[in-house]
Amino acid sequence: MTDTAASSAASSEAIKIDIWSDIACPWCYIGKRKLEFGIEEYASTEGSVPVEIEYHSFELSPDTPVDFDGDEIEFLSGHKGIPAEQASQMLERVTGIASSVGLDYDYDALKHTNTVKAHELMHYAKAHGLQLEMKERLLKAYFVEGRHVGRIEDLADLAAELGLDRDDVVRSLESGENVDAVRADQRQAQELGIQGVPFFVFEGKYGVSGAQDPATFAQVLAQVAGERVEVGS
């Protein structure tokens, strides 16, 4: 293979984005949409290359009960120590930002819960080639539809909507076979110094924290692709 051909092959390989995220994180869903818009913007540029995404587990509130008795304002004020009025303002603000990227958050219907089983389901879905679809389904179920994403039976219903074997999903979640994979993601987050989500890692070397504007994501992708060309030239 000539140097030119080798450079072309290297630059055409997918850019890998590893994302640490939680199901119960409003900014993670917003960040997901903004990243998708950024990828679309980048893909429209000449010489763009494919993008590969992998999600990793991160629990913002691992001590949350599966069945929290209260609404989101009560959770933020009681569990997080945030005054109710401030919590209400926070939710109003994030709902407005979500709406700006086409997401219709419904905090009145939202069922706050522990997300470890949802993360286990994400790993199950990844093994069956449906991780990205499962992530979108879980986030929509939680923030838009008011579905419960902490109980095994409810999670199995959501998985079945994507064509996954419901009985096998129940078996997997009851056995906890993916708990180690969830904990491994969390340890890696600690090693990388990730303290909040969403957190995006491009090609294992560039970290982007938070729900940045689509243009920022597009710029990082263009930078990564450009550096590949420079290295291969």
- Show me where the domains of the chain are located: 1-58+197-233
Q: Per-residue pLDDT tens for 172-221?
A: 999 999 999 999 999 999 999 999 999 999 999 999 999 999 999 999 99
Sequence-ordered list of residues with C-beta below 8 angstroms from that of 72, at least 6 positions apart, any chain:
87, 91, 107, 110, 112
Q: HSE (CB half, 13 Å, CA atoms) of 173?
A: 25
DSSP SS3 for 84: helix
Q: Per-residue pLDDT tens for 69-110?
A: 889 999 999 878 999 999 999 999 999 999 999 999 999 999
Structure tokens given for 60: 């913002």
Q: Per-residue pLDDT tens for 119-174?
A: 999 999 999 999 999 999 999 999 999 999 999 999 999 999 999 999 999 999 99
Alpha helix locations (H) across 151-201? 152-161, 166-175, 179-192
Residue listed under structure tokens 């990793």: 56
Amino acid at 131: Q
Question: What predicted TM-score, i.e. pTM, was given to this entire model?
Answer: 0.93
- Confidence (pLDDT) at 161: 98
- Chain-wide mean pLDDT for the chain? 93
- Confidence (pLDDT) at 191: 97
- Confidence (pLDDT) at 231: 65
CATH of 1-58+197-233, one of 3.20.10.10, 3.40.30.10, 3.40.50.300, 3.40.630.10: 3.40.30.10
